[in-house]
Each structure stands twice: as C-alpha cells, then as structure tokens.
Amino acid sequence: MNILVINGPNLNLLGERENSIYGARTLREINMDMMTSARGHKIKFFQKNGEGEIISLIHKYRKWADWLIINPGAYTHYSYAIRDAIEASGLKALEVHLSDIAKREPFRKKSVIKPVCRKQFKGLKDKSYLEALRFCLKNGK
Ligand code: DQA
C-alpha cells in the first residue's frame, strides 16, 4: 500500500511551537514513528507552507497513493482549494490534527476539509497521526 502524508503550514516548527497545545515532538520524530508503524508499506512525507505547494503534491501523487493522510494546519479552516484538490484527486483521505480543533477558538471549529475525508483524527497530539495510519492499515487499499 502507498501512503502519502502531507503536513501544512507551521508544522515544521513542531517541537518548539506551543508545546502545551501540539506536544513536544518534532515532525521528524512523528514521521519516524509512522515509518516504523507502516511496516513495509510505502510511505512518503511532505511538509509545505504554501497552499499551492500542497495542492501540487496532491496532484502529483494522486495516482501513486492509496491513502492521503493530511494535516492542512490553518488551511483546514478556509482552504476550499485544498478541499477541491482532495475531492478531485479521488484519494481516500484522512484529516489529522494534533490539537482538538473543536475545543479551541471559534475560527478553528470549522473544517472545510472534513467533508472530503473519510475520518478526522484530532486531539491526541502526535498519536493522532498514528491512529490515522492504523486506520489505513486496517482498511487496506
Ligand atoms: C492544527 C490545528 C490548526 O488550527 C492550526 O492552525 C495548526 C495545527 C493541529 O494539528 O492541531 O497549524 O492543524
């Protein structure tokens, strides 16, 4: 199985960014954990700060990937362009957040990505990613 993992803006700063909200682990550490858990499946990791860069990655890997695991960062709350890219790609997508966006500021409660994803994983800090990966592995191609 081929799994594409995309992290959006500011997630390159994990480990130094608001640890009480996002946890202390770096994105590199989180990716390493996912790689270990992916047990022989192919998994590619990207982090991009730009909306267009994220969309281009979805386009580029749409035929390669069986699953997309995406944390769009703040784009979650307003990027109809990323939403449309996910829908157009036909990819089975899972939305991930370290924090529980439903319990934070009002602008974070809305996810425009949610309707084009199979499931949302949130509030478990780095474990949100591992739960999403477990879901892919359980459900298969
Ligand atoms: C986030 C939540 C977003 O609201 C925020 O803008 C982020 C991270 C999360 O993983 O909890 O950058 O997606």
What residue segments make up the domains of the chain, in order of their start? 2-139
Query: 22, 41, 61, 77: which one is catalytic?
Result: 22
Tokens of 87: 């829908």
How does the average pLDDT of the chain come out, rounded? 98
Q: Kindly give, in sequence order, each residue whose CB lies less than 8 Å from that of residue 28, ignoring residues fewer than 6 positions away.
A: none
User: Is domain 2-139 annotated with CATH 3.40.50.9100?
Assistant: yes
**pLDDT tens for residues 52-80?**
999 999 999 999 999 999 999 999 999 99
The pLDDT of residue 46? 98
Atom 1 of ligand 1, nearest CA residue: 73
The verdict on the CB of residue 101 being under 6 Å from ligand 1 is yes
What is the longest distance spanned by two Cα atoms in the chain?
40
Report helix, strand or coil for 104.
Answer: coil
